[in-house]
């Protein structure tokens, strides 16, 4: 499954990338340090397969909410699944995230290996594996 | 020789009437053709030919007709803006009998009228004279009306013994048909050109020109309408109008239709139409003898009317005198009653004889019986209570010093029954030639009741003043014209601090607005407007600082005061909330700092912490995923970042504490 990781914290981006590779979710995830790169990545990969997006909310240029607005405003032939990975512990953000159809999970950093293992067992993941 | 205009016109009408009657007898009674009747008018043998119909089909049975708006009663626009006059009647008849739709085109002047048909902007016109020049671009019908033109002048010009038309100034209308002949007949005359008949006529009436040349129906119509009275007909100009209709040169078919139409109108119908528009202008014949008779009759009638008016006036005058006498008596009675109702007595103080004279009412007031009316001044002074005698003396002394005309004085007296009464004396002072007061005549009123009420009101006022002054708030009221009605001490102190002087009751409060910045001033004016519309409300205002006075925040209440369901004034109450506002701002600032700290905790602190936890999780889950050097580097970097952030939070928390301690 095509996987994109968007986080402005480069160290964390690297760590998450390692996690995702090691967990077997995606051997070569695409790392984006800003929301705008994530949008560009989604635009250029919509043709064939489903996308799993690990999305941080607080990013300096284009934040996670704007990326979600972009996804919600476009129609894609392939599904996009978003897992929000954030430092925010605010309930307000959790509630807001529920308004976006593409969001399947809202997790607080750090990402746990057990969470990624659990993701792999979900239907959406299984059905969209090539 | 000249005659009045109406006499000439009547003569002309008689001739034309006879002419048409003869025609009627000769033609109409001998032949029995087909007859169309439209209203009162008979048309004999008129029908459209196949050629007419073909031509009219091309025109879609619609013709453009030009109206000359200024040739009453022949062809003109009436006051309702509709085509009127003899020609209008012909055109209406023409439209009805042929079924042709007429589109009316109105022109401002005769010249425009001509130019319009010349340029084929219209198809035909209804009242025009033949001239060789016009013949080049127009086709004329036969003449359906002949009217003589007259030289019209003022009576002054007409009475001149040596008047000479050959060198006169003529008022003429531009492009009129007779112009070339007139110029030929009077080569040495001067010509002033006008756009329309009435302009020529008025200018002749004003003496700007000596003579104008106009047809009688027009002149009669215009002098009747405009009331021009100084004009007479000098003589026939021998330049008669032969009125025809005319079409553009390219439309001979229309000329043919119009000619047949005109020929078909029966003679009696023509008389009917001409009478309808021309005879109603005639007045009775005027002859000199008749004029004299009229004058005598008029003089007799006037004398009779004057005598009748004088008689009626005298009778009415007598009645009026009787009425006025009665009214005067009633007024006098009313005056006496009013005096007794308004005042308790009348006094006459003789300052030379040192006596005072009262009307009887005073004795009732003073509660004793006396047949005397006059008393020595010394006796009068005794009844004034000792506490008020100084006041009376002072008032009396002011007479000589200030030469006042209206003297008034309030004091208390002790009555025969030992009760105290408040009296008010108001009098007119008479002075001698040397300026010494010699007499005061006036009225006395017992004001005991009102004096008590006044004392109570004064006490209430003092109480109210004490109440409104016993606050640090500013309280004041303002009338509709933005004048100060009342205010408390704090208001006056504040005003003095701002504008350098206090504000008296009755003075405008507008100088206060001048110390405000434009935006604040607009807000104040808007609030005043809202309150005068009947809305009571509270608002927060910012009062700018001035020199030693700091910036202030205040809560301002606008309370409309109603009288007879309309706002007459506004009571304002300004409560200083500067301290409260400053505290609120501080709290707001603190809150913002606290929010920032919270945000730092949730985001900035959590970033390196998340990283540390992720590294730990990664080491735990996949021990070989990172090299030792990488692990140490990442851990050190995240730990240092965390340390910096904690130091920063500590500093921020310190500033929150400082704000708290400032409070």
- Residue in chain B closest to A59 (alpha carbons) equals B603
The answer to whether B606 contacts A16, with C-beta atoms less than 8 Å apart, is: no
d(CA B344, CA B611): 105
Q: Say how many C-beta atoms besides its own lie within 10 A of residue B160's C-beta.
A: 11
Q: Which residues of A touch B620 (CB under 8 A)?
A: 113
**Which residue has 């009755």 as its token pair?**
B506
B70-126 pLDDT tens trace: 788 888 888 788 888 888 989 988 888 888 999 999 888 888 888 999 899 999 998
Residue B336 confidence (pLDDT): 63
B262-308 pLDDT tens trace: 888 888 888 888 887 876 544 333 344 455 566 678 778 887 888 88
Residues of chain B with pLDDT under 50: 1-3, 11, 14-15, 17-32, 281-289
The answer to whether B614 contacts A90, with C-beta atoms less than 8 Å apart, is: no
Question: Could you tell me where the beta strands, DSSP code E, fall in B459-587?
Answer: 474-479, 484-487, 537-543, 552-563, 566-576
The answer to whether A111 contacts B614, with C-beta atoms less than 8 Å apart, is: yes
Contact status, residue B58 vs residue B251, Cβ threshold 8 Å: no
Report the gap between the CA of B595 and the closest CA in chain A (Å). 13
pTM as predicted: 0.36
Q: Which of A45, A71, A54, A67 shows the shortest CA–CA distance to A6?
A: A54
Q: By three-state DSSP, how is residue B570 classified?
A: strand
Q: By three-state DSSP, how is residue B564 classified?
A: coil
Residue B282 confidence (pLDDT): 42
d(CA A59, CA B352): 108
The answer to whether B614 contacts A22, with C-beta atoms less than 8 Å apart, is: no
In this prediction, residues A79-84 reach a mean pLDDT of 93
B351-363 pLDDT tens trace: 888 888 877 677 6
Query: Would you mind telling me the total number of residues written for chain B in this entry?
Result: 663
Residue A84 confidence (pLDDT): 95
For B618, which of A19, A90, A109 is closest by C-beta distance? A19
The answer to whether A19 contacts B620, with C-beta atoms less than 8 Å apart, is: no
The answer to whether B602 contacts A9, with C-beta atoms less than 8 Å apart, is: no
Token reading at B449: 């009741």
Q: Which residues of A touch B610 (CB under 8 A)?
A: 9, 12, 87, 109-110
d(CA B240, CA B242): 6
**Which residue has 């990326």 as its token pair?**
A67
3-state helix, strand, coil in chain A (%, to 5): 40, 20, 40
Report the gap between the CA of A46 and the closest CA in chain B (Å). 30
Whether residue B621 lies within 8 A of chain A, CB to CB, comes out as yes
Q: Which of B40, B35, B98, B42 shows the shortest CA–CA distance to B65?
A: B98
Whether residue B619 lies within 8 A of chain A, CB to CB, comes out as no
d(CA B510, CA B300): 72
B306-319 pLDDT tens trace: 888 888 888 888 88
Whether residue A67 lies within 8 A of chain B, CB to CB, comes out as no
Task: Enter the ipTM.
Answer: 0.85
Whether residue B602 lies within 8 A of chain A, CB to CB, comes out as yes
Contacts of B115 (CB under 8 A, 6+ apart): none
Q: Which residues of B touch A87 (CB under 8 A)?
A: 602-603, 606-607, 610
Whether residue A130 lies within 8 A of chain B, CB to CB, comes out as no
Residue B405 confidence (pLDDT): 83
Q: Which residues of B touch A15 (CB under 8 A)?
A: 611, 614-615, 618, 634
The answer to whether B610 contacts A110, with C-beta atoms less than 8 Å apart, is: yes
| Residue-by-residue DSSP string for B207-275 | TSSSEEEEEHHHHHHHHHHHT--SEEEEEE-S--EEEEEEEETT-HHHHHHHHHHHHHB-HHHHHHHHH
> Residue A7's pLDDT band (boundaries 50, 70, 90)?
very high
Report the gap between the CA of A109 and the closest CA in chain B (Å). 5
d(CA B124, CA B66): 6
The answer to whether A87 contacts B607, with C-beta atoms less than 8 Å apart, is: yes
- Residue in chain A closest to B609 (alpha carbons) equals A110
Contact status, residue B477 vs residue B559, Cβ threshold 8 Å: no
The answer to whether B603 contacts A111, with C-beta atoms less than 8 Å apart, is: no
Q: Which residues of A touch B611 (CB under 8 A)?
A: 9, 11-12, 15, 110
């Amino acid at each position: 499954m095509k996987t994109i990781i968007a986080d402005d914290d480069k160290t964390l981006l690297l760590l998450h990338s390692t996690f995702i590779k090691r967990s077997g979710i995606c051997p070569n995830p695409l790392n984006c340090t800003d929301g705008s790169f994530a949008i560009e990545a989604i635009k250029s990969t919509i043709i064939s397969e489903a996308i799993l997006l690990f999305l941080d909310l607080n990013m300096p240029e284009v934040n996670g909410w704007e990326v979600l607005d972009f996804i919600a405003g476009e129609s894609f032939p392939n599904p996009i699944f978003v897992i929000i990975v954030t430092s925010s512990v605010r309930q307000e953000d959790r509630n807001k995230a529920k308004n976006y159809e593409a969001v399947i999970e809202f997790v607080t950093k750090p990402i746990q290996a057990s969470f990624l293992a659990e993701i792999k067992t979900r239907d959406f993941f299984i059905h969209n594996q090539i | 020789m000249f005659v009045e205009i109406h006499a000439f016109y009547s003569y002309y009408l008689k001739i034309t009437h006879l002419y048409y009657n003869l025609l009627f007898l000769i033609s109409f009674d001998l032949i029995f053709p087909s007859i169309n009747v439209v209203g009162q008018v008979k048309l004999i043998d008129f029908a459209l030919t196949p050629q007419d119909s073909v031509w009219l089909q091309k025109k879609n049975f619609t013709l453009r007709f030009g109206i000359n708006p200024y040739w009453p009663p022949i062809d003109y626009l009436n006051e309702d803006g509709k085509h009127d006059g003899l020609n209008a009647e012909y055109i209406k008849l023409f439209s009805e009998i042929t079924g042709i739709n007429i589109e009316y085109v109105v022109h401002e002047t005769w010249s425009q009228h001509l130019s319009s048909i010349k340029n084929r902007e219209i198809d035909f016109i209804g009242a025009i004279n033949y001239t060789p020049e016009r013949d080049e671009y127009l086709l004329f019908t036969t003449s359906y009306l002949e009217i003589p033109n007259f030289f019209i002048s003022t009576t002054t010009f007409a009475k001149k013994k040596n008047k000479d038309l050959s060198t006169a100034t003529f008022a003429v209308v531009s492009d009129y048909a007779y112009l070339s002949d007139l110029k030929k007949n009077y080569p040495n005359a001067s010509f002033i050109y006008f756009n329309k008949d009435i302009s020529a006529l008025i200018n002749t009436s004003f003496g700007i020109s000596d003579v104008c040349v106009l047809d009688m129906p027009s002149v009669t119509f215009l002098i009747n309408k405009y009331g021009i009275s100084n004009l007479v007909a000098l003589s026939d100009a021998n330049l008669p109008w032969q009125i025809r209709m005319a079409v553009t040169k390219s439309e001979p078919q229309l000329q043919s239709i119009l000619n047949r139409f005109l020929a078909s109108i029966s003679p009696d119908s023509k008389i009917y139409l001409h009478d309808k528009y021309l005879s109603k202008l005639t007045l009775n014949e005027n002859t000199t003898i008749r004029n004299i008779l009229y004058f005598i009759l008029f003089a007799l009638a006037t004398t009779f009317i004057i005598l009748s008016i004088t008689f009626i006036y005298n009778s009415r005058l007598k009645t009026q005198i009787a009425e006025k006498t009665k009214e005067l008596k009633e007024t006098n009675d009313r005056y006496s009653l009013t005096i007794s109702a308004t005042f308790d007595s009348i006094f006459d103080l003789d300052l030379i004889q040192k006596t005072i004279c009262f009307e009887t009412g005073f004795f009732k007031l003073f509660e004793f019986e006396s047949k005397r009316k006059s008393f020595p001044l010394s006796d009068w002074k005794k009844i004034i209570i000792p506490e008020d005698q100084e006041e009376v003396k002072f008032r009396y002394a002011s007479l000589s010093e200030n030469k006042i005309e209206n003297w008034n004085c309030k004091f208390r007296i002790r009555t025969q029954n030992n009760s105290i009464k408040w009296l008010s004396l108001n009098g007119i002072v008479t002075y001698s030639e040397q300026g010494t007061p010699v007499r005061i005549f006036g009225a006395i009123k017992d004001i005991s009741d009102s004096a008590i009420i006044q004392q109570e009101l004064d006490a209430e006022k003092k109480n109210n003043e004490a109440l409104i002054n016993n606050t640090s708030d500013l309280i004041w009221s303002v009338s509709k014209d933005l004048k100060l009605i009342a205010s408390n001490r704090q208001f006056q102190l504040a005003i003095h601090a701002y504008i350098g002087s206090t504000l008296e009751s009755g003075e405008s409060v507008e100088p206060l607005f001048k110390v405000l910045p434009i935006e604040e001033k607009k807000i104040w004016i808007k609030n005043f407007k809202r309150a005068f519309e009947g809305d009571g409300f509270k608002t927060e205002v910012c009062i700018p600082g001035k020199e030693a006075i700091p910036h202030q925040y205040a809560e301002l209440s606008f309370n409309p005061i109603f009288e007879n369901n309309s706002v007459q004034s506004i009571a304002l109450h300004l409560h200083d909330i500067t301290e409260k506002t400053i505290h609120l701002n501080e709290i707001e600032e603190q809150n913002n700092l606290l929010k920032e700290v919270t945000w730092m905790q949730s985001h900035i602190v959590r970033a390196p912490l998340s990283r540390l936890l992720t590294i730990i999780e990664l080491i735990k889950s996949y021990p070989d995923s990172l090299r030792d050097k990488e692990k140490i580097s990442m851990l050190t970097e995240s730990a240092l970042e965390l340390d910096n952030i904690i130091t920063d939070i500590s500093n921020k928390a310190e500033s929150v504490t400082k704000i708290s301690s400032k409070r």
